[in-house]
Amino acid sequence: MSESQRSSRLSPTTSWTVLTDAPLRGFSLAREEGLILAWDEADQLYLFDLSGNRVASSRAPGKVVNAVASDTGSLYVVLGENGMLWLLGQGLEPIAERPTGIDASALAVDPHGRYVAIASKVGSHALFTRYGKPAGQFESRQPVGHLAFVADAPLLIAASNFGAIMGFELVPSGGPSKLRLDLLWQQNLLSNVGRLALTGDGRMILASCHTFGVHRFDLEGNIEGAYHPGGSATHAVPDFVGRNIAVATIEGELSLLNSTGNVRWQTGLPRPIVALQVDALGRFVIHGMNSGEITRLDLDGSTKPAGPSPAGRALSGHLRDPDWTLTVAHSEEQADFAVLAVLDEPPRIGFITTRNRLQVYTTDGKALGQAPEITGIGRIIRTAPGYLAAATDRCLVLYDAEQNGAQRIDLDLVELTHMVFRPRSFGLALVQEQYRVGRAGLNGRWAWRRELASSIEEIALDRGDRLAATDAEGHLVLFDDEGQPKEITLAAPAEPCLLIEAPERSPDAVSWLALARRLQWLRGLDRNGKVIWEVRLEFEAWQLLRLGPFALVLAPDGRVVAVDGSGKVRGKGQGGDAKSVYTSGPRGEPIRVSRQGVNLITTDLTGRVLWRTIASSAVGPIGTGRTGVAAMIGRSLAWFGANSS
C-alpha cells in the first residue's frame, strides 16, 4: 500500500489477511464477542475471530441477500431471497427459519440479539424476535434501504436509498416482545445514501452519500456537517464513541478521520472495498474486498502480527495460480473480443481475436503457430476429436491437431449461422442464412445442399453420423445420406426446440435430446425421431448443453438440471449467471466456471467452490474442457490444468 503525504499521524500495520472460498459479499462485526460473520458469492457463511482464525463455517440454506451479527454474538441473522429469514446461534447452528413475506431491502439486529428489523421496498417494515416471531410493524413514506439500532437507547435509525433519514423510538406495546415504532424525526437529503452507521449512543449518525461526502447527524436528526475526505464515499464507520472514523470510496481509497473530520491517514487499495468495520475501542479497522480478502489493520502500528498471515495474504485451500500465462493479444480490445476453445483429444488451446487468425497452444504453453487469416465478421470456434474449427460468417479454417496443420476450406459461404463437423467420417454440416443447410467435405466440395421452408434452430449429429435439425415451426428434420429431409412434428403448439447429440454412455436407442423451453420438457429421441423418454421441467429453460455423460438444462435465473442419457435427473443446482460456462470435470462431473471482475471461480452444481484465482486484472473470455480452463487475463492467456487443481 502507498500512503499519501497526509498520513503522518497514524501508521497502521496489517495484522492479518484471510481469504473466503468465493468472492466476498459482505461481513458484519460482533463487537463485544470479537467475531466476524462473513458471507460469499457461493452462499458460504464464516465466523472468524479477531486473530483471523476460522471459528466456524456453514453453507446457507439458500441464496444470501444480506446478513448481520449482534454485538454480543448471540444471534446471527441471514436474509435470503424472497424474504426468507434464517436465525443462527453462536456456532451458526439454526435457531429458526421463517418466510417473512417481505420484499426486503435492509436488515438490522439489535446489539443484544433480541430483535430483528427488516425493511421492505414498499415502505411497510417489520420487527421479529430472535425466534422469528412477529414483534411489530412500522411504516415510512419512502422505501428504506438501511437500518441500524442504537446500542444505548431504544431507537432505530433508518435511511432510504433516495435521500431521507429517520429516527424511530421503540415502545413496548400489546404484550411480551411486542413493540411499536413511533417516528420521532425525519431529515431529507440531496443525495442517495450508500451506507448508514452510528456510534454506540447514536449521537453521531453517519450517512455515506457518495460524491456529496459523509453527512453527520445527531440523535435528534439535526445535521452537524459533512466530511469530505476525497472521492465518492461508499462506507463511513465510526468506533463506539466516535473518536475514529474509517471511510472507503468507490475509487479504492481508505481514510481514517478523527471526529472533527481531519484525515489522519489515507491509502490506496488495489480494488474497492465491499465491507468495512471499526472495532468498538477504535484499535483496528477490518476491510474486505470482492476478491475474498478480509484484512485487519491495527491503527497504532504496535500490535504484533497475529493469525494465519503475518506476512500478507493467507491462501485458501481453494485458491490457485495459473499453471502459466503468456501475452498473446496486442491490445485490450483484442483480448476483450477473443474467443477461446479447449480441445481435449489431444489437449490443445485455440483462440481467435479481432485479427481473425486461429492461434494454437499446447497445455504446457508451447505455441504451435497460427492458421491462415479468415475474413468476415463474427468469430466461432468448435472442437471435434483431433480438430479445431474457426469460422466467421463467410470463411472457415480447419486445424488438424495430430498433424499440426491448418487449411482454409474453400467454400463460398454467406452468413454462416450453425456448424457441426466430424472430419474423419462425416465432414462438415453448415447452415447459412438460418434456412440453407448443406454437407461438405474437407476438399471444399458440397455433397448436398437443401433449402428449408423455415429457419433452423439447431443442428446435431448422432453417433452414427446422421444429421438432424430443429426448425422454428416445432419440427425435427432428419436428413438421409443424400440430404433428403424428413419432417416430424416435435412440439405442438409449434415451438423452436433445442437439439444436442445424446450424452456419452446413453442407451443405444437414444440418438438425440430435444428441449422445448415454453412447454418445459426434455425428450430423448431415437434416430427416427421417436420419443424414448421425457422429463418434465420445473422451469422454462434457455440453454441445452451436452457435457460428457450429462445434458445440462439451464434456466435464465441460474437454475440448472443435469440429466443422463436415459432420462434420469442426476443433479440440480442454482446460482449461475450469464457469464457462467459449463464443462466436464476429469471424472465427467458437471462443473460451472464463472468470472466476476478479477475472480475466476469453478464450482460444482450445488455452488461448492472447487478452486478459484484472483487475477491481476479483470478476467476476460474463457474456454473450457475436461483437461482444464483457459482464460484471458488482461492481454495474457492463462491456463489452469484440471490435473493441477
pLDDT in tens, 426-468: 999 999 999 999 999 999 999 999 999 999 999 999 999 999 9
Backbone angles phi, psi at 334, to 5 degrees: -60, -45
Does 306 have pLDDT greater than 60?
no
Per-residue pLDDT, averaged over 317-326, amounts to 88
Please list, in sequence order, all residues whose beta carbon lies within 8 angstroms of the beta carbon of residue 509, skipping any fewer than 6 positions away. Answer: 526, 532
User: Three-class SS of residue 83?
Assistant: helix
User: Three-class SS of residue 547?
Assistant: strand
Give residue 316's pLDDT band: very low, low, confident or very high (50, 70, 90).
low
Give residue 310's pLDDT band: very low, low, confident or very high (50, 70, 90).
very low
Model pLDDT for residues 230-267, shown as the tens digit of each residue:
889 999 999 999 999 999 999 999 999 999 999 999 99
Does 308 have pLDDT greater than 80?
no
Residues 220, 199: Cα–Cα separation, whole Å: 14
pLDDT of residue 314: 44
Per-residue pLDDT, averaged over 101-114, amounts to 92
Residue type, 479: F
Residues 128, 107: Cα–Cα separation, whole Å: 11
Model pLDDT for residues 472-494, shown as the tens digit of each residue:
999 999 999 999 999 999 998 99
Describe the strand order of the beta sheet including 467-471 as a list of residue ranges. Answer: 456-461, 467-471, 475-479, 485-489
Chain position carrying cell 427416427? 528
Handedness of CA 194, 198, 204, 205 (dihedral sign): positive
Describe the strand order of the beta sheet including 446-451 as a list of residue ranges. Answer: 416-422, 427-432, 436-440, 446-451
Burial 247-267 (b: 16+ CB within 10 A, else e): bbbeeebbbbbebebebbbbb
CA distances from 183 to 158, 191, 531 (A): 10, 22, 65
Describe the strand order of the beta sheet including 2-3 as a list of residue ranges. Answer: 2-3, 263-268, 253-258, 244-249, 233-238
Per-residue pLDDT, averaged over 169-196, amounts to 89
Residues 88, 391: Cα–Cα separation, whole Å: 54
Residues 591, 582: Cα–Cα separation, whole Å: 6
Average per-residue pLDDT in the chain? Answer: 91
Does 304 have pLDDT greater than 70?
no
pLDDT of residue 330: 87
SS (H, E, C) 182-241: EEEEEEECCCCCCEEEECCCCCCEEEECECCCEEEECCCCCEEEEECCCCCEEEEEECCC
Residues 194, 104: Cα–Cα separation, whole Å: 16
pLDDT of residue 318: 80
Q: Does the N-terminal peptide bond of residue 346 adopt cis geometry, omega within 30 degrees of 0? A: yes
CA-wise closest residue to 72 among 274, 280, 297, 287: 280
Model pLDDT for residues 347-399, shown as the tens digit of each residue:
999 999 888 899 999 999 999 999 999 999 988 999 999 999 999 999 999 99
Element of type H or E holding 124: strand 124-129
The DSSP annotation for 595-626 comes to: EETTEEEEE-TT--EEEEEE-SS-EEEEEEET
Model pLDDT for residues 3-32, shown as the tens digit of each residue:
343 434 688 999 999 999 889 999 999 999
pLDDT of residue 645: 56
pLDDT of residue 9: 66
pLDDT of residue 305: 42
Q: Which residue has the higher pLDDT, 302 or 361?
A: 361
pLDDT of residue 163: 75
Dihedral angle over CA of 182, 202, 72, 120, nearest 10: 40
Q: Does the N-terminal peptide bond of residue 493 adopt cis geometry, omega within 30 degrees of 0? A: yes
Residue type, 474: G
Least confident of 109-113, 162-166, 530-534, 562-566: 162-166
Handedness of CA 536, 538, 542, 543 (dihedral sign): negative
The DSSP annotation for 12-57 comes to: -EEEEEEE-SS-EEEEEEETTTTEEEEEETT-EEEEEETTS-EEEE
CA-wise closest residue to 198 among 265, 234, 151: 151
pLDDT of residue 607: 85
Residues 341, 348: Cα–Cα separation, whole Å: 8
